[in-house]
Amino acid sequence: DAGITQSPRYKITETGRQVTLMCHQTWSHSYMFWYRQDLGHGLRLIYYSAAADITDKGEVPDGYVVSRSKTENFPLTLESATRSQTSVYFCASSDRGTGNYGYTFGSGTRLTVV
């Protein structure tokens, strides 16, 4: 099915562990984004990518690492998870070329760091 999928949907990890959240899109959109959603903060941009092998920091990048070796995949890694990284993480994609500038979001990954 076409779309943007995130995995896992739910994850519980311990402080200090490394964890990777996966994001896959089937449209070949050039832009992909990672946001975290926290009450009172809305959606905050962690990292984004304009194309394969091109990534850049967003508003809250500390403690996160991304890579984009293929256009369709954009994994987000928490190198050493902390309790403050407990959040709901959303991946999104966008294709500027069509003139439709809306972002399409995945269903999110709820991450709990204990």
Partner 1 sequence: QQQVKQSPQSLIVQKGGIPIINCAYENTAFDYFPWYQQFPGKGPALLIAIRPDVSEKKEGRFTISFNKSAKQFSLHIMDSQPGDSATYFCAARVLSFGNEKLTFGTGTRLTIIP
Q: Name which position in 93, 108, 111, 113 contacts partner 1 (CB under 8 A).
A: 108
Q: Tell me the site size for partner 1, rule CB under 8 A.
A: 26
Among residues 80 and 98, whose Cβ is nearest to partner 1? 98
The minimum distance between CB 50 and partner 1, in angstroms, equals 5
Complex with partner 1: residue 79 or 87, whichever CB lies closer:
87
Interacting positions 40-69 with partner 1 (CB under 8 A): 40-45, 48, 50, 56, 58-59
| Cα separations in angstroms, 84 against 41, 71, 81, 103, 114 | 13, 30, 8, 26, 10
What's the longest Cα–Cα distance across the chain?
43
